[in-house]
Amino acid sequence: MAVMTITDAVIADNAGYAQAVETAVKAAAAYYGGGDSALDDDAYDRLIRAITAWETDHPEQIVPGSPTGKVAGGVGQGDVPHTQPMLSLDNVFSLEQFTAWAASLERRIGRPVQAWSVEPKLDGLAIAARYRDGRLVQLITRGNGTAGEDVSHAIGTLNGLPGQLAEPVTVEVRGEVLMTSVQFETALAVRAQHGGEPFANPRNAAAGTLRARDRAYRLEMTFFGYGCLPLPTTDTELAERLTGSSHSEVMACIVGWGVQTAAATDVPGRTVTSVLAVQDRVEELAGLRADLSFGIDGIVIKADLAADRQAAGSGSRAPRWAIAWKLPAVEKITRLLDVEWNVGRTGIIAPRAVLEPVEIDGSVITYATLHNPADITRRDLRIGDQVMVYKAGDIIPRIEAPVAHLRTGAEQPIVFPETCPQCGSGIDASEQRWRCERGRDCHLVASVSYAVGRDQLDIEGLGLTRVVQLTDAGLISDFADLFSLTRDALLGLERMGPTSADNLLAAIEQAKARPLSRVLCALGVRGTGRSMSRRVARHFATMEAVRAADADAMQQVDGIGIEKAPVIVAELAQLAPVIDKLIAAGVNTTEPGATPLAGNGAAHTAEAAGPLHGMTVVVTGAMTGPLEQLGRNQMNELIEQAGGRSSSSVSKRTSLLVAGEGAGAKRAKAEDLGIRIVSPGEFAELIADLLP
Ligand SMILES: NC(=O)c1ccc[n+]([C@@H]2O[C@H](COP(=O)([O-])OP(=O)(O)OC[C@H]3O[C@@H](n4cnc5c(N)ncnc54)[C@H](O)[C@@H]3O)[C@@H](O)[C@H]2O)c1
Ligand SMILES: [Zn+2]
């Protein structure tokens, strides 16, 4: 199990100390008060460790408001006195630390601890529930440990804490209030309906909900008991039974009365008799953490026997007979940079959050799942939000919710797609999970639409609707099948008359003559867009040479590195059936202007002699004259055929700017940098040989 390794911030001087105390107190007040803390637990704990370190070295400078050594950082409030203090817990982070703590406890009580009770440390907030004659009469928060707030208004909203016990006993049950993930999602939805800000995480939602008095809505929470003690009016026999029994016996007793405990979960408390057995159980619980429907932030280990607990006693902040073995933090705050919409194999359109990289439990997280669009709406998520991200074990990281109070006003709404982001078809939004109307054919429609696009094979008359029609009719299973479409097959399609069919066939026929670079681009090899396809085509000159290239040969192409090369080679191999079909259909397999070299397979291109040899050329503004009809991609093709390199941004390395009408910022920048600027007309003369 991971030991905490993150180095803590170091406080440099007294002013830094004062600042740290202020930050920590503010965070704790928000944390325990049900507001949003600006810090995640990990950041808070590191701050506290830094403050503690400073105070150890400068005991004379400790300020009275310091959060260290106090229950709830000293910020808890309330006017209902506790019968016995409700304390914090001391922490350990490793087996060594736990062993040392256990040894010191055994030294203190003067005998070995015979039994340890090992329970999950539920990540919610502590509450005392007072029962009189079996009826739940009062709920009190932990507050400052000595007195808490009366939150009896929450009676009836806590699953697992019955209004009436099975026996008419007078007792105080203590336990944790939290929200399960289902309760949290419901809370977010209800809150959004009422125009409230989202809760940052389940713990925050529980804290806020427990203390809220006059909300127009009620939210359900969950209670797990982990302690029980007598009240002053408890009858003597029961009082003695409670104080004289082992912790595990008391737990069994409250379960019998109808109170829910961790025994009802996948992580029940266990009693074990050795430190090593404690460690085993801790590891087991840690392994189960990711799959739980509620948060745990550690494991609580208690001396089970009443005699051991009494002998150990308590300090002012924490009992000496119990310890929290903390697990690594699985929740961090980071920024939501963007939302991507990915289409899965079956056409499911799933949003995915792009995050400012953040380290959680040893791995760097850059993406998080958002499941479905309703998830986003429920959370009122916005681009730029600070968000609480959760990642435990092997689960996919998820965004719990935004930390709404950290908003600056610069956050932007998340734009939902109106058509399928992969193929452009309609979206079926009737269910929670959106789906492309093409379902499993989405990828086919997308890849064919891409292949026939203007910058690839440029087949006129093959818009999305036609591609969908051909796909739905089962006439194509990849874009190469287009070249074997028959007139009869086309005529069988709806809204396809003889003229349209002939036009389409003619357009397809024309596409067979496209240069190799266009054909390569149409294949849609990952990581190779238009300009990379041109470079590959010019380098190898023929499809045969491209296919014969291994990773080493592929790496000779300008811009293809050691990582990309094998990926391209592998993808081309996978596309072999499609390429074979293209060749069989008579599609052109050569690049004009490039001639293949024997030997190393690299082509000898005309570029050495080209008029733009060695130049980096940028095009901006509207083209006129002989270049008027050319799109950017075609301009770039020309530049590269002329031996130059095309680029989209002006920098010191730019050799030439072709500035058409309406050229603005790029022109100004080129002027600043003293770069040569030509008009479209001048440029056309420069490359006149290459123009048709
Ligand atoms: N993010 C913030 O700004 C911020 C501010 C303050 C505190 N915190 C976090 O709160 C924690 C410390 O606060 P704390 O004193 O509330 O908790 P603690 O870690 O000292 O533990 C004591 C609490 O554990 C809970 N608990 C859960 N399961 C239990 C079990 N089986 N038996 C007994 N107790 C159990 C009880 O509520 C009890 O009050 C730290 O981890 C800190 O990161 C965060
Ligand atoms: Zn689609």
121 tagged catalytic: yes
Alpha-carbon dihedral sign for residues 658, 664, 665, 667: positive
* SS3 labels along 191-215: HHHCCCCCCCCHHHHHHHHHHCCCC
Cα atoms found within 13 Å of the Cα of residue 444, Cβ hemisphere only: 24
Strand pairing class (616-620; 656-659): parallel
Number of other CB atoms surrounding residue 277 within 10 Å: 14
Q: Which residue has the tokens 């999950």?
A: 120
- Ligand nearest to C-alpha 297: 1
Cα-Cα end-to-end distance for the chain:
69
Q: What is the pLDDT of residue 559?
A: 85
* SS3 labels along 306-322: HHHHHHHCECCCCECCE
CATH topology of domain 14-74: Helix Hairpins (1.10.287)
CATH topology of domain 331-413: OB fold (Dihydrolipoamide Acetyltransferase, E2P) (2.40.50)
Alpha-carbon dihedral sign for residues 154, 157, 160, 166: positive
d(CA 608, CA 578): 33
By the 8 A CB rule, do 669 and 654 touch?
no
Q: Which helix or strand (DSSP H or E) is residue 594 part of?
A: strand 594-596
Q: What is the pLDDT of residue 10?
A: 83
- Ligand nearest to C-alpha 144: 1
Q: pLDDT of 465-515, one tens digit each?
A: 999 999 999 999 999 999 999 999 999 999 999 999 999 999 999 999 999
Q: Which residue has the tokens 């959004």?
A: 192
DSSP secondary structure code for residue 152 in this structure:
G
d(CA 126, CA 142): 6
d(CA 322, CA 336): 39
Q: Whose CA is nearest to atom 23 of ligand 1?
A: 88
Q: How far is the CA of 463 from the centre of ligand 2 (A)?
A: 14
458 is in an annotated binding site: no
Q: What is the pLDDT of residue 634?
A: 86
Burial class (CB in 10 A: 0-12, 13-18, 19+), 195: exposed
Q: What is the pLDDT of residue 2?
A: 37
Please indicate whether residue 259, judged by its CB atom, sits closer than 6 Å to ligand 1: no
Q: What is the pLDDT of residue 3?
A: 37
By the 8 A CB rule, do 583 and 595 touch?
no
Number of other CB atoms surrounding residue 518 within 10 Å: 24
Contacts made by residues 657-661, CB under 8 angstroms, sequence distance 24+: 657/617, 657/618, 657/619, 657/620, 658/617, 658/618, 658/619, 658/620, 658/623, 658/683, 659/620, 659/621, 660/619, 660/620, 660/621, 660/622, 660/623, 660/624, 661/621, 661/622, 661/624
d(CA 190, CA 218): 9
Please indicate whether residue 177, judged by its CB atom, sits closer than 6 Å to ligand 1: no
- Ligand nearest to C-alpha 424: 2
Q: How far is the CA of 126 from the centre of ligand 1 (A)?
A: 8
Q: Which helix or strand (DSSP H or E) is residue 516 part of?
A: helix 516-523
Please indicate whether residue 101, judged by its CB atom, sits closer than 6 Å to ligand 1: no
42 is in an annotated binding site: yes
Q: pLDDT of 113-157, one tens digit each?
A: 999 999 999 999 999 999 999 999 999 999 999 999 999 999 999
SS3 494: coil
In a mutational test of the pocket of ligand 1, which residue from 37, 41, 125, 173 has the highest number of ligand atoms less than 8 Å from its CB? 41
Task: Tell me the C-alpha to C-alpha distance, in Å, between residue 107 and each of 116, 136, 306, 307, 313.
Answer: 16, 40, 17, 15, 13
Can you give the C-alpha Rg of the chain in angstroms? 35
d(CA 299, CA 267): 10
Task: Extract the residue ranges of the chain whose pLDDT is less than 50.
Answer: 1-6, 606-607
564 is in an annotated binding site: no
By the 8 A CB rule, do 7 and 97 touch?
no
Please indicate whether residue 230, judged by its CB atom, sits closer than 6 Å to ligand 1: no
Domain regions of the chain by residue span: 14-74, 80-326, 331-413, 438-511, 516-608, 611-690
Please indicate whether residue 45, judged by its CB atom, sits closer than 6 Å to ligand 1: yes
Q: How far is the CA of 18 from the centre of ligand 1 (A)?
A: 24
- CATH numeric code, 516-608: 1.10.150.20
Q: Which helix or strand (DSSP H or E) is residue 400 part of?
A: strand 398-402
Q: How far is the CA of 43 from the centre of ligand 1 (A)?
A: 14
Closest Cα to residue 253, out of 142, 131, 147?
131
Q: What is the pLDDT of residue 584?
A: 96
> Which atom belonging to ligand 1 lies closest to the Cα atom of 124?
37
685 is in an annotated binding site: no
One fold for both 80-326 and 438-511?
Answer: no
Helices (H) and strands (E) in the chain, counts: 23, 27
Please indicate whether residue 530, judged by its CB atom, sits closer than 6 Å to ligand 1: no
Closest Cα to residue 618, out of 635, 643, 634?
635
d(CA 565, CA 554): 5
- CATH numeric code, 611-690: 3.40.50.10190
d(CA 303, CA 298): 17
> Of 26, 121, 564, 652, which one is the catalytic site residue?
121
89 is in an annotated binding site: yes
Q: Does domain 80-326 have CATH number 3.50.50.60?
A: no
Please indicate whether residue 302, judged by its CB atom, sits closer than 6 Å to ligand 1: no
442 is in an annotated binding site: yes
Question: How far does CA 124 lie from the centroid of its chain?
Answer: 23
Q: Whose CA is nearest to atom 9 of ligand 1?
A: 41
Closest Cα to residue 370, out of 343, 406, 396, 346?
396
Q: Whose CA is nearest to atom 35 of ligand 1?
A: 121
| Amino acid, res. 52 | T
Q: How far is the CA of 8 from the centre of ligand 1 (A)?
A: 20
Q: What is the pLDDT of residue 601?
A: 53
By the 8 A CB rule, do 39 and 30 touch?
no
Q: What is the pLDDT of residue 604?
A: 55
* Angle made by CA atoms 678, 680, 684, in degrees to the nearest 5: 100
CATH topology of domain 438-511: DNA polymerase; domain 1 (1.10.150)
